[in-house]
A and B are shown apart, each in its own frame.
Chain A
């Protein structure tokens, strides 16, 4: 069984933890408190006759915790950016989250864009046209969910599982050439300054 790390990001009170709680406990809490730091939960799902274990890192949306998040993005194989349909500012800050992802991983990661709170369709402030533009621009996979009613939440995680397995297969095919690159890297480092390496040995190491 393979393990994958998934990082949830997005603005404050957008519904990251409630999506995860709906997925794992099939439960919704109206009075849920804001998360502190980074929380962790895990669950196994069955996709295409394979069992996949998902490690979900639920980050805090508040600004004061943002300096803790990048290190979790670095180690995760898939990123989910959540925003609130009824809140324009949360939609605008997608760019900020995208920047942090690209700083850490470049274009190496799969990114899911999730619009939460579809149960409040009447108060929608982000039009579908804008969403299509955004998704096409960056190549996101887009879904709309509602943690309160449970709409689309299971499908979201099934899609996550499928896309992660695809990526994993691609990587396995690429492993052999990568190994050659690594060996060449070591040679380069040795060629650059063999004298200093000797000095290190003399001076002693930690």
Chain B
């Protein structure tokens, strides 16, 4: 079989027949034979050099034209925002809004939608394989992540200020009726109004239940910052004493997992002395606390200031305060709902936006839980290839499942031991598009119901399986509900 590859004119039908049961991994023939079978390389060996050169040059040109310079950054932003990504929250997007026409905006929205779809699928491809998990320049990555998250916080803070202004106006109208009540009650209401503002703002970021608990934590952390030595105890009490739901626990675990991964990278760089490990562990602990503090501190600038004043004198009576706060928050939740109803009537426009966002985020949240890994350069190139393919085939676009077809091709070409592994990116793009041109029918919406579509092929497979291997078919039908 291998002797076939060295002939000037390769007989493709023979290669197909021989490689029917798979190409052996030894000898590094697999990438070459795959390229032959996917018609990327012509059977005449003398033509290979020309075609490879041409196609590779074309690929880089495509990339320059179709991909904007901030293409990879957008994917990274999607990853950093941990799937709470929305187009309105994207910082650059707002800058663009001011300068562009509506028709151009629609195009950009479509592109972002496509990219986000690809991103969601790419993160789930072959998570078991170390090949796709690897990452380079660990420190740079972490720095970028921190920068982005800081920017995001600033952005959200701006938004919250705007919300607060709006709601203070509405609250003033309500407040006229309440002037008769005591000053203490007023003070509480101010608190509540701020909390409701925060509450509504954070709907866009996370679920309702998470927010109220985050608020509790933030309050606790402000206290912790004051009392340095008692930090760890407080954290434990808070974690145990307040009934945190499973979702929050999962999130915390995710955070820990990420930090541990980062920590491993640090360990490799440094030597494995016991003392140093202890230092790293200490750093981890600090980072955890910092991150929590940052997260909780996002929306609550004004609230913090007032709360601090309240609590400076009462550090010793923490436990009693906790109980009181719980009761207050229960009451506030009921009142929040009433206030929301009033606000909804006034702000119908904002409602529609929030509703849309809710729908998106529910779907997104499922992915969030299993997503601990960092987005790697290899995954980013996968994104680029899929994006290019979707751009060049507007009739088909991107369909779920393409990532699974591309991944093995990419894997084989990138691990090629010969010099051609440098060009794995263009090679895998052209092989993928050649392969897809043969199985287009299965990915096209219009053809789905016809005799060439995916429904018909599935029923055909069902029939042939029944003929060939009745036992297997019977098992699948009874146990797997095919």
Contacts and interface: CB of A to CB of B under 8 A. Distances in A.
Interface of A: 1-3, 35-42, 53, 55, 57-58, 64-65, 67-68, 70-72, 74-75, 185-186, 189, 192-193, 196-197, 199-201, 203-206
B24 to A, nearest CB: 4
B1 A196 contact: yes
B354 interface: no
B434 interface: yes
Contact of A3 (B14, B55, B58, B451): B451
A37 B392 contact: yes
Contacts of A203: 24-26
Given A75-B437, A193-B1, A206-B30, A38 B392 contact: yes
Interface string B1-41: 10000000000011001100111111000100000000100
Contact of B17 (A1, A189, A205): A189
A40 B396 CA distance: 7
Given A36-B391, A206-B22, 15 more contacts: A3-B441, A3-B452, A37-B392, A39-B394, A40-B396, A74-B438, A75-B438, A185-B13, A185-B17, A189-B17, A189-B18, A193-B1, A203-B25, A204-B24, A206-B30
Given A38-B395, A189-B17, A193-B1, A71 B58 contact: no
10 contacts: A37-B392, A37-B393, A58-B395, A64-B61, A72-B437, A200-B1, A200-B24, A203-B26, A205-B22, A206-B22
B430 A201 contact: no
Contacts of B14: 189, 192
A180 to B, nearest CB: 15
B45 to A, nearest CB: 16
B23 A71 contact: no
B268 interface: no
B74 interface: no
Interface string B390-406: 01111110000000000
A82 B446 CA distance: 25
Given A40-B444, A72-B437, A65 B54 contact: no
Contacts of A193: 1, 18
Nearest to A74: B39
> Nearest 10 pairs between A and B by C-beta?
A40-B395, A205-B22, A37-B392, A189-B17, A71-B437, A203-B24, A71-B434, A3-B452, A206-B22, A39-B395
Contacts of A2: 451
Most chain A CB neighbours (cut-off 10 Å) among B391, B393, B395, B433: B395
A65 B30 CA distance: 28
Contact of B58 (A67, A72, A192): A67
Interface string B218-230: 0000000000000
Nearest to B22: A205
Nearest to B453: A3
A190 to B, nearest CB: 8
Nearest to B390: A37
Contacts of B446: 40, 42
A185 B430 CA distance: 29
Contacts of B30: 206
B447 interface: yes
Nearest to A40: B395
A39 B440 CA distance: 12
A6 B67 CA distance: 30
B55 to A, nearest CB: 5
Contacts of A35: 394
Contacts of B26: 203
B450 interface: yes
Given A204-B25, A206-B25, A37 B391 contact: yes
Nearest to B66: A36
A64 B58 contact: yes
Nearest to A186: B17
B393 A38 contact: yes
A75 B436 CA distance: 11
A37 B39 CA distance: 18
A187 B395 CA distance: 41
Interface in B83-142: none
Q: Which of A35, A189, A203 has the most CB of B within 10 A?
A: A189
Given A2-B451, A67-B58, A201 B21 contact: yes
Contacts of A204: 24-25
A171 to B, nearest CB: 16
A35 B394 CA distance: 9
B392 A200 contact: no
Contacts of A192: 14
B158 to A, nearest CB: 38
A40 B393 contact: yes
Contacts of A40: 393-396, 440, 444, 446
B21 A200 contact: yes
- A2, A3, A53, A71: most-surrounded residue (chain B CB, <10 A): A71
A65 B25 CA distance: 34
Nearest to B59: A67
Interface string B163-196: 0000000000000000000000000000000000
Contacts of B394: 35-37, 39-40
A41 B17 contact: no
A160 B49 CA distance: 38
A75 B439 CA distance: 10
A51 B447 CA distance: 15
B22 A71 contact: no
A81 to B, nearest CB: 19
A36 B395 CA distance: 11
A71 B39 CA distance: 8
Contacts of A42: 446-447
A185 B16 CA distance: 11
Given A74-B39, A203-B24, A203-B26, A1 B450 contact: yes
Among B21, B25, B30, B393, chain A packs the most CB atoms within 10 A around the CB of B393
A71 B433 contact: yes
Contact of B392 (A57, A68, A75): A68
Nearest to B23: A206
Contacts of B433: 68, 71
A53 B450 contact: yes
Contacts of A70: 39
